[in-house]
């Protein structure tokens, strides 16, 4: 049992039922927020203080707060899914709790105990239950736990005051075009992370460093950017906020190994498990961009896809480099990609048996 719970400390003005229904009809991704947010504060002197649910709203922060200057911050991404019987579940939350601890360690932030993390998510979703979209379709309540150094001061040191929040956002597909094959620009100029850096941590700086390359991708008509390793610019790392997978004609599924500079995706790990059980030979390995392009050209690689909590599993139809354009398969959504997607979402929405015990009931 958690020593820290998250009771509602004040009442909140709830969004009116008809306004909430209007939002839930077409929520987009990450643009609407619920009635409550969870909060707890840590100080170097006293450790974690009491948890609370407070009305969702702006934060009061010193302009000198360390996070605004030196980026000492970590976050997580997870989802609450409504099942057909009305119950609400989340997917492998202990994995997010542990990854947040690893990210926090790398960023010199305090580690939030796993049971406190789980309590914050559980109690927020219970209070915001009307915001969990209906079971039909593929919408969910996206959950964003995050933690940052709020202590005021411009010296470069780890903050002695740290705030933890969880906010929630009813969401549909991550990509504006829905689950359609992506066009992905391969950035040869910018990397998102370097050896010994923070690439494996879920911290804002990694995402900030992807933005210029994302703008360059957009200027070439691409939806996403693929990063290569910073040292040799030859090995595939990941996309701006998703891991990447390839499927071969002879039934192998390949993904870049955890080199220390890519995110240890919960979806990535789940896909490897599902793929192995489907009889695909799964391999975490160095993927050289030149080999991948050659194998796309020869037809050896038949499918490519992006994977993450927000993106779920999204086909990639084309890679664009300074050398030209590479269409994967027929440029459409690959069969094996869609089958994996169907199976993963089937488990998440309770349409398929949870044979790995991945789901945890919240409401
Ligand atoms: C997630 O998939 O949950 C992330 O945090 C990635 C971000 C691109 C939305």
**Cα separation of 152 and 93, whole Å?**
32
Cβ–ligand 1 contact at 241 (below 6 Å):
yes
Instruction: Give the pLDDT confidence of 299-343 residue by residue, as tens digits.
Output: 999 999 999 999 999 999 999 999 999 999 999 999 999 999 999
Atom of ligand 1 nearest to the CA of 311: 2
**Cα separation of 95 and 85, whole Å?**
26
CA of 317 to the centre of ligand 1 (A): 21
H or E segment to which residue 216 belongs: helix 211-219
Strand partners, 239: 226
Average pLDDT value for residue range 290-294: 98
User: Could you give the residue ranges of the DSSP H alpha helices within 128-249?
Assistant: 204-208, 211-219
| pLDDT for 3 beyond 60 | no
Give the pLDDT score at 137.
83
CA distances from 168 to 5, 18, 118, 165, 193 (A): 18, 19, 14, 10, 28
Cβ–ligand 1 contact at 265 (below 6 Å):
no
Q: Is 245 left (phi over 0), alpha (psi -120 to 50) or beta?
A: beta
Instruction: Give the pLDDT confidence of 75-100 residue by residue, as tens digits.
Output: 999 999 999 999 999 999 999 999 99
Cβ–ligand 1 contact at 239 (below 6 Å):
no
At residue 290 the predicted structure's pLDDT band, cuts being 50, 70 and 90, is very high
Atom of ligand 1 nearest to the CA of 77: 3
Whole-model pTM: value is 0.97
Atom of ligand 1 nearest to the CA of 240: 8
Average pLDDT value for residue range 108-128: 98
**Cα separation of 180 and 158, whole Å?**
42
Average pLDDT value for residue range 167-192: 96
Average pLDDT value for residue range 119-141: 95
| pLDDT for 1 beyond 80 | no
| pLDDT for 2 beyond 50 | no
Cβ–ligand 1 contact at 315 (below 6 Å):
no
Residue 32, helix vs strand vs coil: coil
% of the chain residues with pLDDT over 90: 95
Ligand 1 atom 6 nearest Cα: 241
DSSP state of 336: H
Ligand 1 atom 4 nearest Cα: 77
Neighbour-count burial of 150, counting CB atoms closer than 10 A to its CB (0-12 exposed, 13-18 middle, 19+ buried): buried
Give the pLDDT score at 132.
98
Nearest of 117, 120, 111, 109 to residue 149 by alpha carbon: 109
Instruction: Give the pLDDT confidence of 200-210 residue by residue, as tens digits.
Output: 999 999 999 99
Cβ–ligand 1 contact at 309 (below 6 Å):
yes
At residue 286 the predicted structure's pLDDT band, cuts being 50, 70 and 90, is very high
Average pLDDT value for residue range 242-265: 97
CB of 263 within 8 A of CB of 210? Answer: no
Atom of ligand 1 nearest to the CA of 29: 9
Cβ–ligand 1 contact at 204 (below 6 Å):
no
Atom of ligand 1 nearest to the CA of 78: 3
Average pLDDT value for residue range 111-122: 98
């Amino acid at each position: 049992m958690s020593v820290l719970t998250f009771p509602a400390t004040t009442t909140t003005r709830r969004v009116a039922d008809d306004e909430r229904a209007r939002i839930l009809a077409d929520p987009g991704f990450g643009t609407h927020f619920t009635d409550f947010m969870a909060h707890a504060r840590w100080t170097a002197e006293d450790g974690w203080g009491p948890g609370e649910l407070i009305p969702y709203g702006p934060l009061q922060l010193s302009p000198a707060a360390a996070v605004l200057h030196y980026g000492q911050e970590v976050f997580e991404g997870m989802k609450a899914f409504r099942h057909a019987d009305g119950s609400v579940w989340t997917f492998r939350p202990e994995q997010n709790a542990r990854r947040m601890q690893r990210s926090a360690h790398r960023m010199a932030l305090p580690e939030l105990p796993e049971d406190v993390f789980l309590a914050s998510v559980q109690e927020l979703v219970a209070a915001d239950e009307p915001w969990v979209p209906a079971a039909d379709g593929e919408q969910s309540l996206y959950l964003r736990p995050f933690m940052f150094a709020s202590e005021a001061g411009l010296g470069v040191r780890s903050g002695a005051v740290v705030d933890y929040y969880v906010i929630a956002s009813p969401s549909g597909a991550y990509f504006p075009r829905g689950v359609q094959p992506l066009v992905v620009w391969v950035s040869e100029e910018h990397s998102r992370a370097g050896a010994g850096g923070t690439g494996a941590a879920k911290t804002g700086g990694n995402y900030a460093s992807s933005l210029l390359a994302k703008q360059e991708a957009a200027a070439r008509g691409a939806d996403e950017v693929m990063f290569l390793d910073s040292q040799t610019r030859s090995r595939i790392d990941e996309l701006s906020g998703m891991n990447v997978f390839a499927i071969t004609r002879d039934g192998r599924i390949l993904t870049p190994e955890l080199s220390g500079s890519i995110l240890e995706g919960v979806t990535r790990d789940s896909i490897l498990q599902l793929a192995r059980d489907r009889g695909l030979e799964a391999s975490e390995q160095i993927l050289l961009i030149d080999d991948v392009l050659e194998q796309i050209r020869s037809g050896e690689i038949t499918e490519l896809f992006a994977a993450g909590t927000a993106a779920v599993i999204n086909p990639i139809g084309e890679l664009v480099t300074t050398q030209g354009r590479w269409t994967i398969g027929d440029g459409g959504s690959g069969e094996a990609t869609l089958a994996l997607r169907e199976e993963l979402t089937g488990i998440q929405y309770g349409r398929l048996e949870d044979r790995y015990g991945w789901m945890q009931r919240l409401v």
